[in-house]
Amino acid sequence: MVTEPQNLFYCLLGVLIGMLIGVLPGLGPAATMAILLPIVYTVDPVSAVIMLAGIYYGAQYGGTITSVLLQLPGEASSVVTVFDGFALAKQGKAGTALGIAAIGSFVGATISIVGLTLLAPLVASWALSFGPPEYAALALLGVLLVATIGSGHTVKALIAATIGLLFATVGRDSFTNASRFTFDSLQLADGLDFVVVAMGLFGVGEILYNLEARYGKAHVPATVANVWPSRKDLKQSSGAIGRGSLIGFFLGVLPGGGAVMASLAAYATEKRIAKEPERFGRGAVEGVAAPETANNAAATSSFIPLLTLGIPANASMAMLFAALLVLGVSPGPQLVEENPDLFWGVINSMYIGNILLLILSIPLVGLFVRILRVRPAILAPITALITILGVYTINNSTFDIFVMIIFGVIGYLMKKTGFEPGPMVLAFVLGAILEDSVRRSLLIFEGDPTGFFTRPISGSILAFFVLVVLLPIVQAVRKGRAASAKVEGKDTPR
């Protein structure tokens, strides 16, 4: 299935677009996936999802290149790579850093795909017994974890997420048929289209945000000589690649964890166990290998909650979730049974996609370095046009263009005031499922909300939910106490 020429083509296209946007600072993978969502209406569903998935994991490869060569991470998950990657580049070893990153990325992703292949059907079959209360608890936990673990201030992220849930209620209520927040608009009766909202918040929001920084010149990266790492470099980083794969895999599975957290944790682990931790930050090969391996492993394993439970672990997965819904496919435990072509097609495409990335990333480094010299001003109108014309094609509706623009303005203003649009989009996508599950659960429990806690799985998930809420509060209180004790200690004359 996946080896069909059409699917191979879209896989290649996806990873190439992913690498490209990973290289170009500005649009992230979630924004690019949002902008390209309308493509799911025009090409074969499996091909479309394969391409969107390729964009996501391809971006993890591309993000490394600018981190190493420009000290400018293309992706948040490659920020930590800057520390040692750029130091290596300054020593004339940019090629080594990029080569190690490509190999580590490939190993990490491949181990993670094997894990995904083995684990996903098991999780899916376990989750088949889930009812509305379990889904409600899971969706709630997903929204909370994305808001609390992601970048940015937790309260702000939670506000963004809850507003996302509120936007999801616009339209006709499926239980009572009453109109909510439609202000007598017929176009809003069916609710806000999540593709349009995501394209606005992510796509237009980022395009507008990038306009402010547009006047910058093209970047002039360091030159790259030999991209093949030496045997010594490989030996030195093999442990980091192994550990990074495992850390990435497990952190990627957690909702909200994902690639950024994995890259940080893998780097921290290597520094912690290193015999000479002072080498880190000054060009340690492991400092590149560990985070780059981990972010790819995490990017891959973050497909597990989406494909098996129907819970997107991060904003990019929310875009895939949206794409699947557009295709009439409900992501969740029944996916593997009902749409095996799609389920296994996506997973198998990852094996091929990662081989393509390994093959392409090393010889194409020179090409990507040249792309970095293209002025951002030239790419901007092309992205803007893709977005506007793309959103129009969904329903052939100019109304959608204006809804997208409004959400674009919201996304831009959120960024300016320190609110991340990611949790909002994710909560918006999960909103309908969450409300539906909560209300169905209340019907099952005959109005008694304690029913959520008495069922073993939903009870355990909600207990974890409470833990996630309480832990940062306890930590903050402890930190506050420790800080005030320190201040008191300093103030006390010796």
Identify residues 435-494 at the interface with another protein (CB under 8 A): 435, 438-439, 442, 446-449
Figure out which of the listed residues 163, 444, 457, 468 binds another protein, where binding follows CB under 8 A: 163
State the minimum distance, in angstroms, from the CB of residue 439 to another protein: 5
Q: Report the site for another protein in 414-433 (rule: CB under 8 A).
A: 415-419
Tokens of 215: 């006047």
Size of the residue set binding another protein (CB under 8 A): 78
Nearer to another protein, 215 or 489 (CB): 215
CA distance 329 to 335: 8
Which residues, 6+ apart, have CB-to-CB distance to 133 below 8 Å?
A: 437, 441, 444, 445, 451, 452, 455, 458
State the minimum distance, in angstroms, from the CB of residue 412 to another protein: 7
8 Å CB contact between 294 and 237 = no
State the minimum distance, in angstroms, from the CB of residue 146 to another protein: 15
CA distance 267 to 67: 15
Tokens of 16: 């190439």
In angstroms, the first-to-last Cα distance of the chain is 76
Within a 10 A sphere around the Cβ of 400, how many other Cβ atoms? 23
What type of residue sits at position 36?
L
* Segment interacting with another protein, rule: CB under 8 A, options 95-103, 222-230, 339-347, 408-416: 408-416
Length of the chain: 494
Nearer to another protein, 211 or 355 (CB): 211
Q: Report the site for another protein in 343-402 (rule: CB under 8 A).
A: 375-378, 380-382, 384-385, 388-389, 392-393, 396, 398, 401-402
Q: Which neighbouring-strand residues pair with 179?
A: 172
Q: Report the site for another protein in 291-310 (rule: CB under 8 A).
A: none
Figure out which of the listed residues 8, 119, 362, 409 binds another protein, where binding follows CB under 8 A: 409
Nearer to another protein, 19 or 401 (CB): 401
Q: Report the site for another protein in 265-294 (rule: CB under 8 A).
A: 265, 267-268, 271-272, 277-278, 281-282
Figure out which of the listed residues 42, 118, 328, 490 binds another protein, where binding follows CB under 8 A: 42
Nearer to another protein, 335 or 432 (CB): 432
8 Å CB contact between 282 and 87 = yes
CA distance 45 to 342: 8
Q: Report the site for another protein in 53-72 (rule: CB under 8 A).
A: 72
Q: Report the site for another protein in 166-205 (rule: CB under 8 A).
A: 166, 169, 173, 175-176, 178, 180-181, 204
Nearer to another protein, 282 or 355 (CB): 282
Q: Report the site for another protein in 236-265 (rule: CB under 8 A).
A: 264-265
Figure out which of the listed residues 65, 80, 97, 116 binds another protein, where binding follows CB under 8 A: 80
Whether the CA torsion 108, 110, 114, 116 is positive or negative: it is positive
Q: Report the site for another protein in 312-341 (rule: CB under 8 A).
A: none
State the minimum distance, in angstroms, from the CB of residue 176 to another protein: 5
The H or E element that residue 179 is part of is: strand 179-180
Least Cα distance to 372 among 364, 360, 382, 384 occurs for 364
Nearer to another protein, 169 or 236 (CB): 169
Least Cα distance to 420 among 196, 214, 146 occurs for 146
Helices (H), ranges, 2-44? 5-23, 29-36
Nearer to another protein, 212 or 337 (CB): 212
CA angle 282, 285, 288 (to 5 degrees): 90
* Segment interacting with another protein, rule: CB under 8 A, options 5-13, 44-52, 151-159, 251-259: 151-159
Figure out which of the listed residues 114, 117, 131, 156 binds another protein, where binding follows CB under 8 A: 156
Nearer to another protein, 5 or 215 (CB): 215
CA distance 352 to 1: 12
Whether the CA torsion 231, 109, 123, 258 is positive or negative: it is positive
114 CB-contact burial (10 Å; exposed 0-12 / middle 13-18 / buried 19+): middle
State the minimum distance, in angstroms, from the CB of residue 416 to another protein: 5
Nearer to another protein, 366 or 449 (CB): 449
Q: Report the site for another protein in 94-113 (rule: CB under 8 A).
A: none
CA distance 220 to 491: 50
